Structure 1
Amino acid sequence: MKRREFLKLSTTMAGAAMTVYMPAGWTPARAAAKWKVGFSQCTTLEPWRVQFNKDIQAEAKNQPDVDLVITDGQDKTEKQVADCENLIVQQVNVLLISPKESAGLTGVVEKAIDAKIPVIVLDRNVDTRRITQFIGGDNVAIGRAAGEHAVKLLGGPGKATGNVVEIWGGMGTQPAHDRHDGFHAFTDKEPGIKNLLNNQSGDWKQDKAYNIMTTALRNNEKIDLVYGHNDPMAYGAYLAAKDAGRDKDIKFILGIDGLPDEGVTWVSKGQLTATFLYATPGAEGLRQAVKLLKGEQLQPVITLPTMLITKDNAQAILKKNGLL
């Protein structure tokens, strides 16, 4: 993709570390033949998370000095906490973590730091500024881009009208709140836009979004646009509308993730109107861990770029990824 196709994102993130924090007494000296890097993944139940793991595993093949240990929190905060405690016991040189919930993982992250293990947080932050680095997309900026596009689809600034169904991701996750806030920064300026639901959480899952949309369709005769906080939920809403025979009436369904074999494919088929790339931070996270272990300077925050994906560029993306 050409660089100009990517949307510009802010260089700071709410709640992210603004300075590089290193545990007291930590040094990058190698203690064994290989560096042991632990990665605590919160779940592999979501396709984006599966891709996340594939990306970090692919990067590990390029890092012969790294022994990468990956754990799966199985979508349970208590399991992820136990995983991190196990990685601490293993004395990993660096801990990479993508938390299920910000508050629920803060304590064990602090425990790792107290054990002189630097922590790089990926995608969802934790409630401490003692982390070494945060890597992820700017969810507020992506939400704003989605809101701006929704206003355009519904008639344009000052003219937009329509009934909107918003399906949240996990209510305890910062990305869901950021995607909501960014979206409403644009749509709330339009008096003609009506929001039909009050903070309905699909927990990032397609089947839960299907059920939310089924109820919304039953209770509302007119729905013009669906904003799903990720592509599977947007697609779940589409399937519910299709099963109810109303998919042709609901012209605009937006999502976020932009995986080629999911969101991009659904956009190409006209099932979603648009999606926004939400790149996984796995590969970059491991590269940054290696830089740290080599004694190189890190940035406190790395913000990954996004881009709008519509029918205009979906097929080109599919071709690039060997799907056409």
Structure 2
Amino acid sequence: MITIRDIANQAGVSVSTASRALNDNPRISAATRRRIQSLAARLGYVPNYNAKSLTRGEANVVGVVFPPSQSSTQGNPFFIDAMRGINRVLTQRQYVLSVAIGETSDDVLANVSAMVDQAKVKRFVLLYSHEDDPVADYLRLAGLRFVIVGQPSVSHDDDYVDNDNVAAGEAGATYLLDKLHANRPVFVSSAVDWPYEQNRRQGFKQIAAKRGVPTVETQLPRADAPIASITEWLEKHPNIDGILATDDLIGLSFYQRWQHVHPDAQVPLVSYNRSISLPLPNVNFHSIDLYPERLGAAAAELVFRKHSTEAGHENRIILPFEQLN
């Protein structure tokens, strides 16, 4: 059976480029698209592996796809809780989950395409969303059923489950400014700057603007980046008096580096996911629970519904998050 990896190897391109070309993605040049599509036709490539008929030849498996990462993303408590919710629903339906992980988008795509071609997996939950994702492109091309945890690109009518992350950013900023009395807050995101982080930043900035509060922003460097870069940034911003971070792990990592540079400065920290179960000594730490287990369960329920673009069809689900008091 011919796979996308076979086509990519023969065409001398990456797996993601081959997938995008087959999906007629305009980011790939017209000449390259024609060349790869012609090659696929000559090789007899069948993109959906007869997958559009979901009632025949389907394994009782749902693929759960992690974002590409060189770090231990799969150990993030948010994803663990989301998988717990997914697994609860799948168990009721006598399905099991299979995980797709990889350091790069090509690695993840190869894993997913192997699930489809070799294991007949035809339903997927993506635990992330970003623009021009080759995995989502591949699943659309194959006519497979998938749901995204997170809001997809506006250019696609994908089914998804998410929180209102702009509102979550507003809630975090309101608590930090009004309850914890920060006047010079910093917003901290990952180096990837995922769409949910962009939305939380938007909410943060909206509240800060309403309050007339000046803000600064920074990104936590990747694990393999030199620590000097964030140290230099912290030295240049000694007056920060509050932190809003896009998740607990990012927030606590930033706070530890802050304390290393400013050991006598105590600043409050607000973040998301409530993944730290034990109280932290000497840290004024507050976390907004996004209820990831509920998100995972809702995504798993949705992946068994038929996709529809009809008005009123609940293929886009926004779940509430915790409100800090």
Q: Does 1:305 align with 2:316?
A: no
User: What is the alpha-carbon distance in structure 1 between the residues aligned to residue 249 and residue 187 of structure 2?
Assistant: 13
Match for residue 109 of structure 1?
Answer: 136
Residues 35-44 or 226-235, more deviating: 35-44
Match for residue 269 of structure 2?
Answer: 253
Gaps of 5+ in 1: 1-22, 156-160, 311-324
SS state at 2:207 partner: helix
Would the alpha carbon gap of residues 208 and 44 (structure 1) be closer, same or farther in structure 2, given more than 3 Å must change?
farther
Q: Deviations over 1:191-244 (max 9, x none)?
A: 3x22234xx2226x7898987764343223322111111111211222223334
Would the alpha carbon gap of residues 216 and 153 (structure 1) be closer, same or farther in structure 2, given more than 3 Å must change?
farther
Structure 1 residue identity aligned to 2:220: G
Would the alpha carbon gap of residues 271 and 36 (structure 1) be closer, same or farther in structure 2, given more than 3 Å must change?
same
Q: Does 1:196 align with 2:251?
A: no
User: What is the alpha-carbon distance in structure 2 between the residues aligned to residue 237 and residue 102 of structure 1?
Assistant: 24
Give 1 or 2 for the bigger CA radius of gyration.
2
Residue 163 of structure 1: which of 174, 181, 184 is its match?
184
Structure 2 residue identity aligned to 1:163: R
User: What is the alpha-carbon distance in structure 1 between the residues aligned to residue 249 and residue 284 of structure 2?
Assistant: 10
Total equivalences in the alignment? 265
Would the alpha carbon gap of residues 73 and 49 (structure 1) be closer, same or farther in structure 2, given more than 3 Å must change?
farther
Match for residue 171 of structure 2?
Answer: 145
When normalised by structure 2's length, the TM-score is 0.69
Residue 265 of structure 1: which of 271, 278, 285 is its match?
278
Match for residue 196 of structure 2?
Answer: 175
User: What is the alpha-carbon distance in structure 2 between the residues aligned to residue 209 and residue 224 of structure 1?
Assistant: 25
Would the alpha carbon gap of residues 289 and 306 (structure 1) be closer, same or farther in structure 2, given more than 3 Å must change?
same
Gaps of 5+ in 2: 1-47, 68-72
CA contact (8 A) 2:147 2:299 kept: yes
User: What is the alpha-carbon distance in structure 2 between the residues aligned to residue 209 and residue 306 of structure 1?
Assistant: 35
CA contact (8 A) 1:92 1:117 kept: no
Residues 179-188 or 206-215, more deviating: 206-215
Structure 1 residue identity aligned to 2:318: T
- Identity of matched residues, %: 14
Cα RMSD (Å):
3.4
User: What is the alpha-carbon distance in structure 2 between the residues aligned to residue 300 and residue 209 of structure 1?
Assistant: 43
CA contact (8 A) 1:120 1:289 kept: yes
Would the alpha carbon gap of residues 226 and 143 (structure 1) be closer, same or farther in structure 2, given more than 3 Å must change?
same
User: What is the alpha-carbon distance in structure 2 between the residues aligned to residue 250 and residue 209 of structure 1?
Assistant: 25
Alignment of 1:205-224 (within 5 A): 214-224=231-241
SS state at 2:211 partner: coil
CA contact (8 A) 1:40 1:97 kept: yes
How far residue 119 of structure 1 moved from its aligned partner, in angstroms, is 1.8
When normalised by structure 1's length, the TM-score is 0.69
CA contact (8 A) 1:102 1:125 kept: yes
Would the alpha carbon gap of residues 179 and 234 (structure 1) be closer, same or farther in structure 2, given more than 3 Å must change?
same
User: What is the alpha-carbon distance in structure 2 between the residues aligned to residue 288 and residue 301 of structure 1?
Assistant: 9
SS state at 2:210 partner: coil
Residue 48 of structure 1: which of 57, 75, 78 is its match?
78
User: What is the alpha-carbon distance in structure 1 between the residues aligned to residue 274 and residue 227 of structure 2?
Assistant: 19
Would the alpha carbon gap of residues 272 and 206 (structure 1) be closer, same or farther in structure 2, given more than 3 Å must change?
farther
CA contact (8 A) 1:166 1:195 kept: yes
CA contact (8 A) 1:153 1:252 kept: no
How far residue 177 of structure 1 moved from its aligned partner, in angstroms, is 0.6
